[in-house]
Every structure is written in C-alpha cells, then in structure tokens.
Structure 1
Amino acid sequence: MPDDAPPPLRIAAAGDMHCQPSRAEEARVAFGALAGDADLLLLAGDLTTHGQPEQARVLADAVRDLDIPIYSVWGNHDWHCDQIDAIQPILEDAGVTILERDTAIACVSDVEIGIVGLKGFVGGFPGSHLPDFGEPLLRTVYRETTKDVEALDEGLKAIAHCPFRIVLMHYAPSTSTLIGEPETIWTMLGNDRIAAPIAQHEPDMVLHGHAHAGTFAGAIGEVPVYNVSVPVLGQDFWVFELSGLERATAPLH
C-alpha cells in the first residue's frame, strides 16, 4: 500500500448470535471488543434465540455504546414468536438499522459503502427447487423469493454508484457455503434464485449466516460469498478489509 493511501475500511460481520438473557455478559464482552477495531458492523440475522423482546434487549445493551454504524437483517429465529414489531424499536433505539428488502449507504471515512439487506428465504438449489405449482401455501413461498429477487435487483441498481457494495442476508444464495450441511436440508437453508441479481450486478461481497455447519468462503461467479455464522467462524466476528477502489475483500481475524 502506498504511503499516502488511506487505511483500509474494516467491516466486522457475524450472524447467528442467538442472544438471550443468560448470555448477556458474553454478548457485552464480544461486542465491546470491537471498539476501535471496526469501522462498520454488519449482522446477518438470528440476532435473538426466539425473537422475544427480552432477548433483543441483550443485543441492544451490548451494542449501544459502539460508535460505528450498525446494519442488520432478520433471521428465521427472530421471526419465531412473531414479535418483530416489538423487537425492532428496541434494536433501533440502540443504533441498529434493520434492512428488509432495503438499501442503506454508510459513509465511513468519506467513502460510501452501499448495503442491500434482506432476510432471504427457503427455496432450494438445482435438484431441490420448490416449485411455483400446487398448493397455494407452496406458491406463496415461491412468491416471497420473487419479491426478494426483485428487491435485490432494484437495491443493487440504487447503490451502483458506491465504491463498495455489499449484500447482507440471512439465508444462503449459493451451495458453495453450505458444504458441510446435509444436502437433504439445503432447501431449507436458502435458494439460488437470489443469485441472479448478484451475478448480474457483481457487488463486492455477499454475507449470510443460517448454515451453522456450512463453509466460510464461496462464490457466485466472481463475487465472493461468506458464511459469517458464528458457529462457522468459530469466533465472535470476522473483520474484512476493503481497500482501493476495486474489489479487494481480504478477510482478517
């Protein structure tokens, strides 16, 4: 790196924290350790164990004093008790911006980082796709992913001008980061329909969680895909460095 080059941007990422009151001190220590070591925090869903307000407060208390932008998506665990409307204000009050089929631009050291966030959904991969056929409930699942694909396409168009572009989701968009999970459950871990706008628009990287026994690094074409589920990382967070005005995603511990 030239002597006059700006320092790389440090992006901390993790998913599947599954916060709950019995682990409040653990969460406080983990997030507190990021102070001074990250410029941006991205959370890939499953913030809570069952989506209950007392669990959301654990995360809120842990991140409240972090002086960096924080963006997150929902995970399936966060929806379990169907209390999203109760837990979202708790997290937002602590500085967490929830993205659901939405975009955000974080300005870090005068550099714009565009983020498209969505939960994603089940749906499958070659050989196991859920069809747009049959019972209305099954076709509703298919339509949910259609909405994701359309939102991601529009979101990536909206942040096309940003020097760095990141897709943040919970479910996996590629089998490359599911390796290690039984293939019989891949349909429930994500879908590859969401890969089309990623391949077309080529963001700098895609982050997801959900697959606890999956693989850390994969790809969709030339786009790096990282499974940042805490069980996969084997640690609390992974810090990526982004430098220069070209794709450069060097993962660092």
Structure 2
Amino acid sequence: MANRKKIRIAAMADIHTKSSDKGILRSTFKEINEKADILLICGDLTDTGDEEEARILGEGLDVLQVPVIGVLGNHDYEKGRQKMIKQILAEHDMTILDGESIVIHDVAFAGVKGFGGGFEQYMLSLFGEEMMKQFVHEAVDEALQLDRALTRLEQDNPQMPKVVLLHYSPIKETIIGEPEQLYPFLGSSHLADTISRRQVTVAFHGHAHAGSPKGQTSTKIPVYNVAIPVLRREKKDQSFIIVEV
C-alpha cells in the first residue's frame, strides 16, 4: 500500500435538509465533483426525520459524480422513520453505514451514528437507575458496532487506511465552544477508545454546531468536526472540507 495514490475526501455534516431546500446544495455538490474523489456526510441529513426531506436530499445527490457515504444523525431518528430515510437515500446511490464498512479507492470506511455519554474521567458509568444504564449501554453498543466493523476491515486488509464516520463526537476537543452542560449529550470517549485501539487514520463527525473544527485522540489520530455551522464559522460559505488520505 506504500505506493497507493492518495484520495481526496470531502466531508460535511448537519445538512438538515428541509422540505423547502430543493436544489440548495446543487452548486456545492458540483464543486465536490471537481475537488474530491469521495464525499462523506456525517449525519443530520434531514431536519425533522421526514421522508420528503430525504427525497429532496436524494434528488440533490443525483448531481454527484463521486461516491457518497454517510451515517444518520439524531435528527434523522426524530420520527422513527430512519429505515425509510436510509432506503430513500440508497435509491440515490448513497451508502449509509450503521455498524458496516465499505472499501472505495483502496480506503476502508466504517461508520456508526454514535451516542452521548461524556468524555474521559467524566464519562457516565453503568450505575444507578435503569434509565441511566440504558443511556450508557447505548453509547457502549455504538462503540462495539464500530469496533466490529473495523475488526472485519483489519482481517481483510490490515494495511489499508481506515476512515471513521460518526455523528456524535469521539473526543471533547472538537465540541469545545458548546455549553459544558451539554457535553454528555454530544459524544462519548467510548468511540475514541475504539478509534485508537484500531489505529484509524482519521475520523469525522458533526452534531456539535458550536464546537471546534479539529482535534485529536490521545493517540494523535486526527478528528474533524465537519458540521456546516462550524465550517462556515471558519470560512464564510464553506460547506465541506477536503482531507487527503
């Protein structure tokens, strides 16, 4: 893999497609065709988890000439129609990962939505009321799904670069800017543990609109917050970033 040609990954998150957004990202997707080899969209594809919003996004994706991979976000679960949203977007050639993986251009991609739970020494623990345990179990289960997807990739080709897509953050650094009271609901270090253990190349997430654009795990793996509000705070009208892998 030493002589593998690098690929240009365009990444964005938190599109929040509304029923009135037909054609709104057309120029952005055309620009991605020129600048990237693949597009990643890290959750909150729709605004209220409605099928019509997914159809509008799907119609917009039709202009893309590069593969597009994504994960669902919390907004996509709002109405309990996440399976329909996934199916609609699949009809427009978008691959939604939920504990699965895919290899494109000799790069491996694995994705889950992720969940909250807090970070480092302030992570919530499996103790107390049943509802609190269920909350923590959800975070652990999402990390385990990601771990299984990455394990399968390592078995197939251990030398292949591994890219992780999430909606929730794996580290505290990229949510700084949000109110500290919200930290337990914006991500979980369980995700970072998996990313570090499996020696991932780079990870992308969204969700934290007021967060920070870039950080790294304790093992120096780069993590990007590609929520559109974060990108546009860095540069006016910016809707995606490009990272070479």
| TM over 0.5, shorter chain | yes
Mapping for residues 184-223 of structure 1, pairs under 5 Å: 184-220=181-217, 221-223=219-221
Instruction: Give 1:158 shift.
Output: 1.8
Q: Kindly provide the CA deviation profile for residues 57-100 of structure 1, in whole angstroms up to 9, marking residues without a partner as x.
A: 11101112322211110100111111112222110000111101
* Residue pair 2:99, 2:112 contacting (<8 A) in 1 also: yes
The structure with the largest helix share of the pair is 2
TM-score (norm 1): 0.88
Deviations 1:174-221 (A, max 9, x none): 001111111111111011122112111221101000001111110002
- Hey, what's the Cα distance between the residues in 1 that align with 2:5 and 2:147? 31
After TM superposition, the runs of 4+ consecutive aligned structure 1 residues lying more than 4 A away are none
- Counterpart of 2:8 (choices 7, 10, 23) is 10
The code of the aligned residue for 1:39 comes to: D
Match of 1:158 among 152, 157, 160: 152
Q: CA deviation at 1:127?
A: 5.2
AA aligned to 1:185 is L
Contact 1:51-1:78 within 8 A present in 2 as well: yes
- Which residue of 1 is the match for residue 71 of structure 2? 73
1:120 to 114, 119, 125: 114
Normalising by structure 2, we get a TM-score of 0.90
Please state whether the residue corresponding to 2:102 is helix, strand or coil. Answer: strand
Q: Distance in 1 between matches of 2:214 and 2:120?
A: 20
The unaligned stretches of length 5 or more in structure 1 are 243-253
User: How many Å apart are 1:7 and its aligned residue?
Assistant: 5.5
Which residue of the partner structure matches residue 25 of structure 1?
A: 23
Q: Distance in 2 between matches of 1:154 and 1:148?
A: 10
Matched, 1:238 2:227: no
Which has the larger displacement, 18-27 or 36-45?
A: 18-27
Unaligned runs of 5+ in 2: 233-237
Deviations 1:6-25 (A, max 9, x none): 76311110000101122222
Q: 1:41: Cα distance to partner?
A: 0.8
Shift, 1:26, TM fit: 1.5
CA distance in 2, matches of 1:206, 1:50: 26
Higher strand fraction: Structure 1 or Structure 2? 1
Aligned equivalent of 1:83:
81
Residue 175 of structure 1 corresponds to 172
What's the C-alpha RMSD, in Å, of the aligned pairs?
A: 1.6
**Aligned pair count?**
234
| Identity in percent | 36
